[in-house]
């Protein structure tokens, strides 16, 4: 099992480490610039170029049925799902094959509205509830992966 993290803007890296240590699962932190990680044999840092989608490409190429991918990027989530991985947003909500189409459509609509100046602002602030939901969801995803062998 392996956790792949789209790390540049990930607010739950500490939570990922906590769950990974408990389950003894490898974690790869993928970013465009160096990010501080714990000195631990289960944690690896990969710094990719700052090219467009370089981190996404690296993660998508390595995602498989034994992976849990952590990302807020809907298009990367789609690529990881197609590779057979389980995918979680940092707020703990899973991306699934049945939900990803709607998420992609909503993303496109919101981009069009923002481009037209109709919507300003962004998502709600990250909360303690989001953090708690993420911890539970990651734990559950790893337990399920372990069960299927």
- In the chain (149 residues long), the average pLDDT of successive 10-residue segments reads 94 96 97 94 95 93 97 93 96 88 71 70 81 96 90
Tell me how far apart the alpha carbons of residues 62 and 59 are, in angstroms, rounded to a whole number. Answer: 5
pLDDT per position as a tens digit, 6-49: 998 899 999 999 999 999 999 999 999 999 999 999 999 999 99
Specify the pLDDT at position 8: 87
Tell me how far apart the alpha carbons of residues 24 and 70 are, in angstroms, rounded to a whole number. Answer: 17
Domain 2-144 grouped into CATH 3.10.450:
no
Specify the pLDDT at position 17: 97
Q: Which whole-number Å values give the CA distances from 41 to 53, 108, 116, in the listed order?
A: 27, 40, 48
Specify the pLDDT at position 135: 96
Ordered by start, the domain boundaries in the chain are 2-144
Specify the pLDDT at position 122: 65
Q: Which two tokens stand for residue 13?
A: 């890296």
Q: Which whole-number Å values give the CA distances from 145 to 39, 64, 65, 124, 140, in the listed order?
A: 26, 12, 9, 31, 9
Q: For 26, list phi and psi in degrees, rounded to 5.
A: -65, 145
Specify the pLDDT at position 149: 66
Specify the pLDDT at position 21: 97
């Amino acid at each position: 099992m392996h956790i792949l993290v789209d790390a540049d803007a990930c607010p739950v890296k500490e939570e990922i480490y906590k769950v990974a240590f408990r389950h003894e699962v490898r974690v790869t932190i993928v970013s465009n610039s160096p990010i501080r990680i714990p000195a631990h044999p289960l944690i690896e840092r990969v710094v990719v170029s700052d090219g467009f989608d370089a981190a996404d490409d690296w993660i998508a190429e390595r995602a498989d049925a034994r992976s849990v991918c952590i990302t807020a990027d809907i298009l990367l989530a789609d690529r990881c799902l197609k590779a057979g991985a389980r995918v979680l947003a940092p707020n703990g909500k899973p991306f699934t094959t049945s939900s990803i189409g709607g998420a992609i459509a909503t993303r496109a609509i919101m981009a069009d509205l923002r481009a037209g100046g109709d919507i300003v602002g962004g998502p709600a602030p990250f909360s303690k509830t989001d953090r708690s939901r993420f911890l539970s969801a990651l734990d559950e995803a790893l337990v399920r992966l372990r069960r299927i062998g």
